Structure 1
């Protein structure tokens, strides 16, 4: 009889003890730490016209073209947390890694209507709406969540450098080649930059996923 009670304790009690231990001392992959400390970036550039409210830079408004050929403005991100980057569809290397990491973000938040992804081309000559739509289909982007934008080179490059503080430029030796960083930018619902990450570094994208969740807590 005594052995029976010991067996029942092990069978029923041990899992409960393990759960309590993990709940008290364990740490999950995306455990939220100090959510109130997610900073607001206050970057400035001497080459850009300030777009600030209360001394904090905001993403300026724009008028660009999406992958469906529709003219869109910043209204597409109204009331949204979003991740922005810059790419071009013929990019042979870095953009492949960036798209793969962005797909991880898409899959993580695909059921959350408050989260969007915005990708801007740095090659508007070749990245027509049709080319961007084909690119989106090729990589498996959900265009209900993930929007691709093109426009004039001047508008796109100004938005990169003065809105998101990302450099983008042609390579002088090859007009069909471009230099652009692998940067992902996290933007809050007030159009403020809240995080900057390497879009080719899996651990940094893990941090981005975590900080999107932290940012979501601010709006609860």
Structure 2
């Protein structure tokens, strides 16, 4: 009996050791269906992985924010508007968890694009940031030309669940609950439901994974 117990302990220890050595990798997302793809560096497809295009917007401090602002950094991107009464407040509250988790870490940023630039001026974004305790050094609320924001949302971040289905015009109102995780090379590595706090835990783990690579 003692020998049997000893064997069981050895087997459990071996299984635990194996689990600890498993390395979880994040997929890439290359198109609007958000089909996960694991692509090795020696794969011919690696050089063609989808990347976020160059951009230029203005944040709540009147500062110009471009793709260069995020060079070598991990960031999460979403789309919102300050007058939104339902989904956006949930997303803001959940993104605050990301801000708190990585407070003071210059390698992690948050990029929130307004989908109502005609209403969300720089001054309005500044007020919204103050009301929600948003740190402008880490979390950028940006505005700009509607056509540029909508094009980025749909063609770069694949942010509109309806695009290509019921929505076919780039000018149609952009709406999504998705938050997108972008790595240091401007590639999409994670998609999360921004209304669910549980999804933020997964995002935090994925960000830490990217920071450790």
Normalised by the length of structure 2, the TM-score is 0.76
Instruction: Structure 2: state its 5+ residue gaps.
Output: 1-14, 34-44, 163-171
Larger Rg: 1
Task: Report the Cα offset of residue 116 of structure 1.
Answer: 0.4
- d(CA) in 2 for partners of 1:186 and 1:113? 16
Indicate yes or no: 2:40 matched with 1:40.
no
- d(CA) in 1 for partners of 2:118 and 2:132? 21
Which residue, 187, 207, 211 being the options, matches 1:212? 207
- d(CA) in 1 for partners of 2:83 and 2:155? 25
Which residue, 120, 123, 132 being the options, matches 2:113? 120
- d(CA) in 2 for partners of 1:53 and 1:130? 42
Q: 1:1-220 residue pairs with structure 2 within 5 A? A: 34-35=23-24, 37-43=25-31, 54-167=47-160, 180-218=175-213
C-alpha contact 2:150 2:174 (8 A) present in aligned 1: no
- d(CA) in 2 for partners of 1:131 and 1:32? 49
- d(CA) in 1 for partners of 2:189 and 2:207? 9
- Structure with the largest fraction of strand: 1
C-alpha contact 1:122 1:168 (8 A) present in aligned 2: no
When structure 1 is superposed on structure 2, of 150-159 and 65-74 the one drifting more is 65-74
List 4+ stretches of structure 1 deviating above 4 A: none
C-alpha deviations, 1:81-133, integer Å up to 9, x for none? 00100010001010000000000000000121100000000000010011111
When structure 1 is superposed on structure 2, of 189-198 and 207-216 the one drifting more is 207-216
- d(CA) in 1 for partners of 2:210 and 2:65? 25
C-alpha contact 1:168 1:178 (8 A) present in aligned 2: no
Q: Secondary structure in 1 aligned to 2:111?
A: strand
Task: Report the Cα offset of residue 44 of structure 1.
Answer: 5.8
RMSD across aligned C-alpha pairs, in angstroms?
Answer: 2.5
